[in-house]
Amino acid sequence: MTLHLPLSQSYTALGPRFFHAQEADPVAAPELLLLNEPLAQELGLDPEALKSPEGVALLSGNAPPAQHSPIAQVYAGHQFGGWSPQLGDGRALLLGDIETPNGTFDLQLKGSGRTPFSRSGDGRAWLGPVLREYIVSEAMHALGVPTTRALAAVATGETVRREGPLPGAILTRVAASHIRVGTFQYFAARNDAEALEALAAFALHRHYPEADGPMGLLAAVVQAQAQLVAHWMSLGFIHGVMNTDNMAISGQTIDYGPCAFIDRYHPQTVYSSIDRMGRYAYDQQANIAGWNLAQLASALLPVMGGEEAIPEATACVNTFRDSYQAAYLARFGAKLGLATPTPDDLPLITELLELMAQEEADFTNTFRALSEGHNPLPESLPFATWHAKWQARAPSEDVMLRANPAIIPRNHRIEEAIQAAVSGDLGPSARLIKALATPFDPPEGTEDLRLPPAPHEEVQATFCGT
Ligand code: AMP
Ligand code: MG
């Protein structure tokens, strides 16, 4: 069976400063672990052909696309607030982009070997983070959150050294593009206005064709990020590494590392083992997004008219706060069954969240129980008072059931799926992926996936696993 793969490599038109042409390092014994057939079909690719030896060779990097070389993209970024002038795809390769009725999408291999941007890394990934990204990004998509997606996971048949020897794997990621805030920062740091201009034009054409010029691009990204982060918050999602190189210009969630969904609610929750200061804690995400957008504005300044554009660019970045707050109110209002919440409803939201924090209530299950007509919190005067006030707003059950998922990818379930996969059993991963495909309408027999972790199952920290 031949694989028909109508790939272009549009990004190379930007010129050689933007990438390094790089073949993947072949792997010993590629084996297809997971294939996202619905996504393959959306991309116009034949799932059967992707499963064939030719398809698996492509998805493992053992055979490059026929048309052109893969590339590693350059970028820079602020990592935990510190400036890194040279990052780039250190373990990823862009195979190319594909046009679909729903737009153009990048196909990228992650874990495909070293590139000039690997620094001390081995260019590889192990099965754990590959499965985590596959499961969580597909769950986010099903939850309606803009996100990169997972087309396939392939075992390499090779060992990767991390804490110990671990099975290697490669993820095929599908993204609207892989342009990051840090991609603009890379060229700004090199005073390369020509590159900034070209990159802005490329990003506008790909993502925001209705927007005009670099200032229009900035405004569009500000709006997209305000919507995105409010959506994360409404689902209890913590990205975990909101470095500027991990913020996509497209407005899609990108780079799932030590991300996690909150179980027991506390606003300052951090899971990432590398985030010791809580910079990327749950309740910091909007602040950090605003900070990252200010970095984007300053990177774009040379092509927005220089210093004269500072007031307009500042005003543009400052619209983030209001847009975020409006999006937050709409999302959390819907969680409480209010289709058109007003700022007067904010206390209803914050009071409930305060009660949840006091009770260490499960974030997802509290809202879902309210949607299903149960009282999720212990009876108390404050809860009864809140409940009466809420009922007086005549919440819509329909609105709630569409805003409050029953199933989210819980940390302990992901860990369990990874452990099983390491021992060769993909059953738990497949079961989780299937249940997470309809998170608002949980399939029969998945009640266990709705349960919070028992004390001994609780995951305290998540790891980047790079
Ligand atoms: P991340 O923390 O995954 O966003 O990665 C930050 C930077 O480190 C990016 O430039 C990655 O390409 C690079 N990187 C992460 N892991 C590896 C690895 N195992 N080998 C080479 N480069 C890596
Ligand atoms: Mg990254």
> Which residues are identified as catalytic?
245
If you write DSSP's letter for every residue of 150-217 in order, what string do you get?
EEEEEEEEEEEESSSEEEEEEEEEEES---BHHHHHHHHHTT-HHHHHHHHHHHHHHH-TTS-HHHHH
Q: Measured between alpha carbons, how far is 86 from 15 in angstroms, rounded to an integer?
A: 18
The total of other beta-carbon atoms located within 10 Å of residue 112's CB is 32
Q: How far apart are CA 380 and CA 239, in angstroms?
A: 33
Ligand 1 near 88 CB (within 6 A): yes
Does any ligand 1 atom lie closer than 6 A to the CB of residue 117?
A: yes
At 393, give phi and psi (nearest 5°).
-90, 5
Intra-chain end-to-end CA distance of the chain, in Å: 35
- Contact of 465 with 126, CB cutoff 8 Å: yes
Q: Is 241 left (phi over 0), alpha (psi -120 to 50) or beta?
A: beta
pLDDT for the residue numbered 35: 98
User: pLDDT value at position 463?
Assistant: 74
How far is it, in rounded angstroms, from Cα 324 to Cα 180? 20
Instruction: Fill in the DSSP letter of residue 251.
Output: S
Compute the distance between CA of residue 99 and CA of residue 237 in angstroms, rounded to an integer: 30
> pLDDT of the chain along its 466 residues, tens only?
789 999 999 999 999 999 999 999 999 999 999 999 999 999 999 999 999 999 999 999 999 999 999 999 999 999 999 999 999 999 999 999 999 999 999 999 999 999 999 999 999 999 999 999 999 999 999 999 999 999 999 999 999 999 899 999 999 999 999 999 999 999 999 999 999 999 999 999 999 999 999 999 999 999 999 999 999 999 999 999 999 999 999 999 999 999 999 999 999 999 999 998 999 999 999 999 999 999 999 999 999 999 999 999 999 999 999 999 999 999 999 999 999 999 999 999 999 999 999 999 999 999 999 999 999 999 999 999 999 999 999 999 999 999 999 999 999 999 999 999 999 999 999 999 999 999 999 999 999 999 999 999 988 888 766 5
Q: Is the CB of 466 under 6 A from ligand 1?
A: yes
Give the pTM. 0.98
Q: State the pLDDT at residue 465.
A: 62
For ligand 1, atom 6: residue with the closest CA: 87
Q: What is the model's pLDDT at position 421? A: 98
145, 249 contact by CB (below 8 A): no
Atom from ligand 1 closest to the CA of residue 125 = 19
Q: Are 248 and 349 in contact (CB under 8 A)?
A: no
**CA-to-CA distance for 178 and 168, rounded, in angstroms?**
23
Q: Which atom of ligand 1 is found nearest the CA of 466?
A: 16
Write the CA distances from 60 to 49, 50, 109, 233, 376, integer angstroms: 14, 11, 8, 35, 46
Question: Does residue 297 contact residue 314 with C-beta atoms inside 8 Å?
Answer: yes
Distance 5 CA to ligand 1 centre (A): 28
Transcribe 435-448 into DSSP letters: HHTSTTSPPTT-GG
Nearest C-alpha neighbor of 462 from the set 233, 262, 255, 259: 259
Return the ligand number nearest the Cα of 178. 2
* Distance, CA of 225 to CA of 63 (rounded, Å): 36
Q: What pLDDT does 459 receive? A: 86
